[in-house]
Amino acid sequence: NEYNWQSIGVKNIHERLRYLYGEEYGVQIMSNPRVGTIVCVRMPVIRGEKKNENSKIEKNDKNDHCR
């Protein structure tokens, strides 16, 4: 990368997602000069009416749009 930018906020989110949900989750950034940038945030689907310890976390490997 010709630019030496540091993004503390994105790094913080990436590390929190990995800590909470596992190594397969986080933020991925892919960039091509003169083409564009893709930012992918992988996080689990949490099903349930209330946010509590009974909420279920599902891993959804079938709809993996981040490659």
The type of residue at 30 is M
From the list 25, 6, 20, 8, the residue with the least C-alpha distance to 66 is 25
The pLDDT averaged over each successive group of 10 residues in the chain (67 residues) is 63 92 93 93 83 59 55
Per-residue pLDDT at 1 = 44
**20 — phi, psi (to 5°)?**
-75, -40
Q: How many helices (H) and strands (E) does the chain have?
A: 1, 4
Residue 59 DSSP one-character state: -
According to the model, what pLDDT value does residue 10 have?
Answer: 87
**Residues counted in the chain:** 67
pLDDT at 16: 94
Structure tokens at 3: 């630019």
